[in-house]
Amino acid sequence: MLAAVGVDSLQEIFERQIPEGVRLNRELELPPGLPEQDVYEHLRALAARNTSAEDELSFLGAGMYDHYVPALIDMLTERSEFLTPYTPYQPEISQGGLQVMFEYQTAISELTGLPVSNASAYEGPSAVAAAGYLAKLHNGKAKFVVSAGMHPHSIETLRTNAHGYGMEVVEVPLRDGVTDPDAWAQAIDEDTSAAIFAQPNFYGAVEDGAALAAAAKAIATEPPSADGSAEGRPARTRAHGGAQAPVVIAQVDPIALGVLASPGECGVDVAVGEGQPLGNRLDFGGPSFGLFAAREEYLRRMPGRIAGETRDVDGRRGFVLTLQTREQHIRREKATSNICTAQALNALAGVVYLTWLGRRGIVELGELLLARTHYARETLSAIEGVEKLHEQPVIREFALRLDADVSAVRRRCAAEGVNPGVDLQAITGRKADRGGLLVAVTEKRSRADIDRLAGVLAQAVAAEREAAVAVYPMAGHR
């Protein structure tokens, strides 16, 4: 084989194909093999070091949430006809799987207020990147404008993909906890491919989605009147005789959509999001699935797969894969996606969960979260040394600022069996987030749980403030 391809060794193949800068150039640091029973003991010891959401009172969030998962979901997703199939290439033997996809798409379309949904994407951040690529294909422009309120992992994923596209990502700052409307409008111009924001944003604040969408689309204005007047047109477009509006993309929380106006109502073109809260557990960061819904004009540029409803030769209702946009199915140059698995089993959990809740249930869940989050926010912000990061409305998650070292406070709380939330700066890397704590409340956190968090957090903050004064007596508190 080596002779046939004209090389002398396997190493020569590697040297020709892999740049020097990314070669390891040493043996892998792997220990010698072990007997099976020793491997089991080693893995069991590693697993024992983990702390699950059931081992502590957890208020962690930041994209993954500890919602209740009904037993019904396990019962259905573990059935072999759903658990073992891969891709429903043959509709005549895949009607159950195809119907699941169709029902899932229907539920997501109703939830987002957008007419088309795929089934589905890998997870939330890659869905954002895929939406960016859709926008690039749609208008060919060179810039993404992104609110700083987007999840940092989503911004990072978008930047990675944008680099490959040769595109620029412009980040718009927040003001009073939400996207700065003036900076947002100023950043969007005739070169903007997509304008992207989160609802609610990463800091828990509810954005004015309709206003952000309208401002993004203000770039597309009617040309001057017959007399040449440019009256009323945005100054940045007058010289261009009107411009095509960017694609407006919203990264949404599916649970919050039970009580918020849908993306479709707000004028959003593409809605994406993380599906984990819909019946998927916190299983070491995954797997989960990504939501992706859009207006019909973007149908043929959507990633992944779309199942459709049809009639067979006998007039019976049936389901088929209507659209598959990856390179395996169509000519490579026309592919809009490289998704090779659709997380369909996780999406099945999502549609079972939404069906279990029902139309009224998801509203009641949202209202419950509103009430409990309000109580938690007011209770915690009343603690000395703790204040709200912003005053905007919140639904399930909110940000606080501590007058103490957040990592040290979290360690003190963990010692009491309570995880108080996420260290904002540890995730965002932003200096402005120093002292920030992001707290998430689900329906599994009762009023008594919130009161316990308040007591533990108050003690931890007080202890850290005292420790800081002892070390820096002349400096006082931060």
What is the per-residue pLDDT for 155? 98
Would residue 144 count as lying in a domain? yes
pLDDT band at 324 (very low <50, low <70, confident <90, very high): confident
Question: Do residue 349 and residue 415 come from a single domain?
Answer: no
Q: CA 321 to CA 327: how far, in whole Å?
A: 15
Same domain, 183 and 326: yes
- Per the structure, the count of domains in the chain is 2
* Whether 91 and 143 share a structural domain: yes
Mean pLDDT, rounded, for 141-153: 97
The most confident of the ranges 118-127, 191-200, 213-222, 463-472 is: 191-200
Kindly report the CATH number assigned to the domain that includes residue 380. 3.90.1150.10
Looking at 297, 326, 354, which one is the last position of a domain? 354
Domain final position from 304, 321, 354: 354
Q: How confident is the model at residue 196, as a pLDDT? A: 98
Identify the residue with better confidence: 363 or 238: 363
Positions of E strands within 325-466: 386-388, 397-402, 418-419, 422-423, 436-440
Helix (H, G, I), strand (E, B) or coil at 445: coil
The pLDDT assigned to 386 comes to: 98
Residue 437 within a domain:
yes
Any domain includes 54: no
- The pLDDT-based confidence of 343 (bands split at 50, 70, 90) is confident
**What value, to the nearest 5°, has the Cα angle with vertex 98 and ends 95 and 100?**
110
323: three-class secondary structure by DSSP: strand
Half-sphere exposure of residue 121, counting CA atoms within 13 Å on the CB side? 24
Residue 44 included in any domain: no
Residues 2-55 have pLDDT tens digits of: 999 999 999 899 888 899 889 888 889 998 999 999 999 999 999 999 888 889
**Confidence (pLDDT) at 475:** 54
- Residue 324 in any domain: the answer is yes
Q: For residue 234, tell me if it sits in a domain.
A: no
Give pLDDT, residue 198: 98
Residues 350 and 416 in one domain: no
CB 289 within 8 A of CB 122: yes
Structural domain range at position 372: 366-471
Q: What backbone torsions phi and psi does residue 175 show, to the nearest 5 degrees?
A: -140, 125
Task: Identify the CATH number of the domain in which residue 298 sits.
Answer: 3.40.640.10
Same domain, 329 and 406: no
Over residues 249-256, the mean pLDDT reads: 98
Q: In this structure, is residue 478 part of a structural domain?
A: no
Q: Do 381 and 332 reside in the same domain of the chain?
A: no
Which are the contacts of 402, defined by CB distance < 8 A and separation ≥ 6? 385, 386, 409, 435, 436, 437, 461
pLDDT of 235 reads: 42
Q: Are residues 442 and 302 in the same domain?
A: no
- Write out pLDDT tens, residues 177-205: 999 999 999 999 999 999 999 999 999 99
Whether residues 145 and 282 share a domain: the answer is yes
* Domain identity same for 165 and 86: yes
Instruction: Please tell me whether residues 192 and 277 are part of one structural domain.
Output: yes
Q: Are residues 135 and 261 in the same domain?
A: yes
Q: Report if residue 163 sits inside a domain.
A: yes
Which of 328, 354, 380 represents a domain boundary (last residue)? Answer: 354
- The Cα–Cα gap between 403 and 459 comes to 13
pLDDT of the residue at 322 = 87
Residue 385 vs residue 227, higher pLDDT: 385
301 and 397 belong to one structural domain? no
The alpha carbon of residue 77 and the mean position of all alpha carbons in its chain are separated, in whole angstroms, by 23
